[in-house]
Amino acid sequence: MALITPMHQDGSVNYDKLEEIIEDQIAGGTDSIIICGTTGEAATLTHEEHLDVIRACVKFVRGRIPVIAGTGSNCTETAIYLSKEAEAAGADGLLVVNPYYNKGTQKGLIAHYKAIASAVSLPIILYNVPSRTGCNILPATVAALWKDVDNIVGIKEASGNISQIADLMALTKGKIDLYSGNDDQIVPIMSLGGKGVISVLSNVAPAQTHAIAAACLAGDYKKGAALQLAALELCHALFCEVNPIPVKAAMNLQGWEVGPLRAPLTEMEPENQERLKKAMAAYGVL
């Protein structure tokens, strides 16, 4: 799951709350935690905060489940620095997003990821989210990296393009570790050979999200589909404004007191918060 970063009202990181949330996630059956990803507001953490949050997560988890650290950047050298520091902190793997804003070519993406992978020994999950980065890593590029670089082992696919994902699985003979990056596409992606989901929904419904993936892993796609469809309205509500605005609002509605967002993100619009409340109530998490 993709964990939020709780804040105090002054905007500083709330480490006590972070530990509480991690304990709840583990109790809810979450199999792994992504720390300092998009949902964790990594883009507005300083490098020092970013690494401190990773270190804290490793400490709080105490080896019970894997900790995957988000260490991507639009600067290759920065991504290498964060990745090396995350490895030193005890992370079990890395999630590395496509370099945003620069919009590297496919050749540039290969060079970027190879440079990061050569600097660390941890397994790396690529993260493709073109809607946020302006950059789409193509199936042939992913397949080439997966074949050529031992510690590039998987991809979080949040392109929303099922045809592209099918092409990727065909090119890798279904062997790359594929994770859904969209909560409304868990079952379709797992039906193509996906291993699970790196989930925003899990922040507010860890056991329910785990159940969707578990059903698919057990081969019961009919059950998985029913669970997926039951969660659909809440999935949509959690993305009716840019992530992680709605999920932090949802956790605050649940009483978690995870605090505010960092600028330029702002609090959820009232009409969208009402939509979120209704969806949470209907799903039984409020």
Q: What's residue 148's pLDDT?
A: 98
Q: What's residue 41's pLDDT?
A: 98
Question: At the top level of CATH, which class does the domain 15-220 belong to?
Answer: alpha beta
Helix (H) or strand (E) holding 158: none
Q: What's residue 262's pLDDT?
A: 97
Q: Rounded to whole angstroms, how far apart are CA atoms 40 and 162?
A: 26
Q: What residues are paired with 127 via a beta bridge?
A: 97, 156
Q: Please, are residues 252 and 206 in contact by the beta-carbon 8 Å criterion?
A: no
Q: What's residue 97's pLDDT?
A: 98
| Residue 127 bears catalytic tag | yes
Q: What residues are paired with 207 via a beta bridge?
A: none
Q: Please, are residues 45 and 5 in contact by the beta-carbon 8 Å criterion?
A: yes
| Residue 283 bears catalytic tag | no
Q: pLDDT tens string for the chain (286 positions)?
A: 999 999 999 999 999 999 999 999 999 999 999 999 999 999 999 999 999 999 999 999 999 999 999 999 999 999 999 999 999 999 999 999 999 999 899 999 999 999 999 999 999 999 999 999 999 999 999 999 999 999 999 999 999 999 999 999 999 999 999 999 999 999 999 999 999 999 999 999 999 999 999 999 999 999 999 999 999 999 999 999 999 999 999 999 999 999 999 999 999 999 999 999 999 999 999 9
Residue in 156, 179, 248, 283 annotated catalytic: 156
Q: Rounded to whole angstroms, how far apart are CA atoms 201 and 171?
A: 30
Residue in 113, 127, 179, 283 annotated catalytic: 127
Q: Please, are residues 280 and 204 in contact by the beta-carbon 8 Å criterion?
A: yes
Q: Rounded to whole angstroms, how far apart are CA atoms 137 and 109?
A: 7
- Torsion angle, alpha carbons of 24, 285, 39, 134, to 10: 150
- With b for 16 or more beta-carbon neighbours within 10 A and e for fewer, the 23-51 pattern comes to eebbeebbebbbbbbbbbbbbebeeebbb
Helix (H) or strand (E) holding 254: none
Q: What's residue 190's pLDDT?
A: 98
For 124, the 3-state DSSP assignment is strand
Selection from 189, 202, 155 nearest residue 1 by Cα: 202
Residue 98 per-residue DSSP state? P
Q: What's residue 226's pLDDT?
A: 98
